[in-house]
Amino acid sequence: MINFADFEKKTKIIFKDKNLLRQAFIHRSYINENPSEGLSHNERLEFLGDAVLELIVTDFLYKKYPNYTEGDLTAVRSALVNAVIISEIASKIGLNDYLLLSKGEAKDNGKARQYILANTYEAYVGAIYLDQSYEVANKFVTASLLGETEEIVNKKLWRDAKSLVQEKAQEFALVTPAYKVLNESGPDHDKHFTVGILFGNTMIAEGKGKSKQEAEQKAAEAALKVKNWLE
């Protein structure tokens, strides 16, 4: 039996409705495997939490960057509130240890787990909003997620790295970057890719990810750093 009291101590958010807290961690697969428990999965909470999270982030960015256009603010928000970053934050604060999953899902630590963690973070934000208040949800998101904003803005990660490196490569190197899969490993449900980015025949950098697209983005980010094109 998972002891959510430990998680409450860690986050310093003590729920009035313990069932609501538990529900935030229940994946649909767990319900399918344990129908007799009479529980509900976290998808409605995720729906609510997604909206609360978007408002918190939007309000923060609107006030922090008064000179940014609507398009810039939207791009920064998208870079901040995406499955990769949110799943990393969810792992850091220990959400992975409290997930209620089917036995099959529990064994999968690939891209599917990444999305489950991101969705659970949103469901937990929704649960905080319902059980506590918007202010408490705001404090939680500020403490756990909004600290990532500076890096995203300073490194221009809010701009799509592949688009930016193509723009810079065409301007300064007179080439269009190409991507090549260097290595592919792991079973189908947990693939890992290493992709290289080339300017002509020259390998500039490599990136790793759980999909070719993610690895290409990482390679593009690495190339921007190598070429000092982030300033």
pLDDT of residue 178: 96
Residue 110 has pLDDT above 70, yes or no: no
Residue 180 has pLDDT above 80, yes or no: yes
Last residue of a domain, one of 128, 154, 180: 154
Together in a domain, 149 and 166: no
Last residue of a domain, one of 138, 154, 170: 154
Residue ranges at the known binding site: 46, 119, 122
Together in a domain, 128 and 172: no
Together in a domain, 144 and 32: yes
Confidence of residue 111 (pLDDT cuts 50, 70, 90): low
pLDDT tens per residue, range 80-96 = 888 888 988 999 999 98
Residue 151 has pLDDT above 80, yes or no: no
Together in a domain, 54 and 118: yes
Residue ranges at the known binding site for Mg(2+): 46, 119, 122
Confidence of residue 156 (pLDDT cuts 50, 70, 90): low
Name the amino acid, one letter, at 94: G
Q: What pTM, to 2 d.p., does this model score?
A: 0.71
pLDDT tens per residue, range 44-68 = 999 999 999 999 999 999 999 999 9
Together in a domain, 65 and 82: yes
Confidence of residue 158 (pLDDT cuts 50, 70, 90): low
Name the amino acid, one letter, at 122: E
Q: How many domains does the chain have?
A: 2
Residues labelled catalytic: 50, 122
Q: Is residue 192 part of a domain?
A: yes
Q: For residue 79, what is the domain's CATH number?
A: 1.10.1520.10
Q: Is residue 72 part of a domain?
A: yes
Classified as helix, coil or strand, 203 is strand
Residue 12 has pLDDT above 90, yes or no: yes
Lowest mean pLDDT among 11-20, 136-145, 148-157: 148-157
Compute the half-sphere exposure of residue 225: CA atoms within 13 Å on the CB side of its CA: 12
Beta-strand relationship, 178-185 and 192-199: antiparallel
How far apart, in Å, are the Cα atoms of 44 and each of 28, 126, 141, 219? 11, 9, 19, 36
Residue with tokens 């529900």: 23
pLDDT of residue 66: 95
Together in a domain, 46 and 81: yes
Together in a domain, 134 and 221: no
Q: Is residue 46 part of a domain?
A: yes
Quick one: average pLDDT of 146-156?
A: 77
Together in a domain, 148 and 169: no
Domain range for 208 is: 161-226
Confidence of residue 78 (pLDDT cuts 50, 70, 90): confident
